[in-house]
Amino acid sequence: MEQAMNDTILLAHGSGGKLSHALVETKFLPLLANPLLDKLDDSAIFEANGRLSFTTDSYVVDPIFFPGGDIGKLAVCGTVNDLSMSGAKPLYLSLSVIIEEGLLIADLERIVQSIKAAADEAQVDIITGDTKVVNQGQADKLFINTSGIGIIPAGIDISGANAKAGDRVILSGTIGDHGIAIMSQREGLRFETLLESDCAPLNKLVAQMVEACPNTHCLRDPTRGGLATTLNEFAQQSNVGIVVEEDKIPVKEGVRAACELLGLDPIHVANEGKLVAIVEPDDANEVLAQMKQNCYGRDAAIIGEVTDDYPGRVIMKTRLGPSRIIDMLSGELLPRIC
């Protein structure tokens, strides 16, 4: 049994029997230990007071290891960030893994380690979990689902429907880093880049922001679909127009170069450690100053404002001066051929 553990995951690891217990006890519990998890009951029991925020997400990223992170870090940060975007302080996560038979145990160990590192950084506990093993071909190496619970401080009311004309739009940093870092690793599209995914937990950044400005109107992390999709969601939910300036949107040189090469627009490329905030004009500078003090908001910038014109649409003033529509991403991002 011990020898098998040093090698690859077997179907028997998901049998519910001895190997299953050994897997959980040797690979997950030692790293993720906390009083609520250690009880190992069928469900975790805890007390919470106040307005709760609850979210879930599944992670199926390919490849599972990428520059700047892996599927484990992503699974923690993604759910922490979803909670944070409602203004909540994340408390607890669940962790459910579906493993394809044949995964290297060493890879699983690396991933659990980065789950621990990300949870430590975000100061959240994983208090319940599950592991399943499926036949080869029924999953791709490893899928993870995490759900999370957080508490929303009193006086906070954040929603995509709260944007009002005159509000300012703030972006927390450079866009497209995650998507380009992943694409650079894809089979058939491999290119060399020093870019890393921006995958990061944003809960502390958000805590600083809402403390400085409890009246923050909208918050969202522009993940799949990129900045363009998030801005369009705000415009539609709030029935307002949003005008942004291309020049003000921070984009790393490497991302711009890769996008030029692949025929993509950085505003459609995914991020995993960025947020967009919409705040009243009088609050904008203070929020921006707070953001710049956090390592995940260092490159934050005011990129545009909300208007009564063009309800439901997002307009970009291009680098050359004229304006154009920014639409949501439709279909897959595919490089051009000609």
> To the nearest whole angstrom, how small is the minimum distance from the Cβ of residue 262 to other proteins?
9
Residue with tokens 């004229």: 322
Own/partner contacts of 222-225, CB < 8 Å, gap of 24 or more, are: 222/175, 222/270, 222/271, 222/274, 222/275, 222/276, 223/78, 223/178, 223/270, 223/271, 223/272, 224/270, 225/268, 225/270, 225/328, 225/329
The whole-angstrom separation of Cα 117 and Cα 120 is 5
| E strand or H helix that includes residue 146 | strand 142-152
**How many other CB atoms are found less than 10 A from the CB of residue 270?**
26
Pick 249 or 288: Cβ nearer other proteins? 249
Quick one: how many helices (H) and strands (E) in the chain? 11, 13
Residue 286 or 309 with smaller CB distance to other proteins: 309
With contact defined as beta carbons under 8 Å apart, do 103 and 109 qualify? no
Q: How far is the CB of 325 from other proteins (least distance, A)?
A: 6
Rounded to a whole number of angstroms, the minimum distance from the CB of residue 327 to other proteins is 5
Radius of gyration of the chain (CA): 21
Are 125 and 81 a contacting pair, CB within 8 Å? no
Distance, CA of 320 to CA of 322 (rounded, Å): 6
CA dist 231 and 239 (Å) reads: 12
Q: In the complex with other proteins, which residue's Cβ is closer, 295 or 334? A: 334
Q: Which is nearer to other proteins, 127 or 259 (CB)?
A: 259
Which residue ranges make up the site for other proteins (CB under 8 A)?
188-189, 241, 253, 256-257, 260, 263, 265, 309-310, 313, 315, 318-325, 327, 330-332, 334-338
- φ, ψ for residue 58 (rounded to 5)? -110, 145
Q: Which is nearer to other proteins, 2 or 332 (CB)?
A: 332
Question: Nearest approach, Cβ of 256 to other proteins (angstroms)?
Answer: 6
Select 1 or 337, whichever has its Cβ closest to other proteins. Answer: 337
Closest CA to 246 of 315, 164, 150: 315
Nearer to other proteins, 140 or 265 (CB): 265
- At its nearest, how many Å lie between other proteins and the CB of residue 128? 37
Q: H or E segment at 66?
A: strand 65-66
Residue type, 321: G
> Shortest Cβ distance from residue 75 to other proteins (Å)?
27
| Cβ proximity to other proteins, 6 vs 336, nearer residue | 336
Q: How far is the CB of 333 from other proteins (least distance, A)?
A: 9
> In this complex, which beta carbon is closest to other proteins, that of residue 19 or of residue 267?
267
Q: Min. distance of Cβ 189 from other proteins in angstroms?
A: 5
Q: How far is the CB of 192 from other proteins (least distance, A)?
A: 14
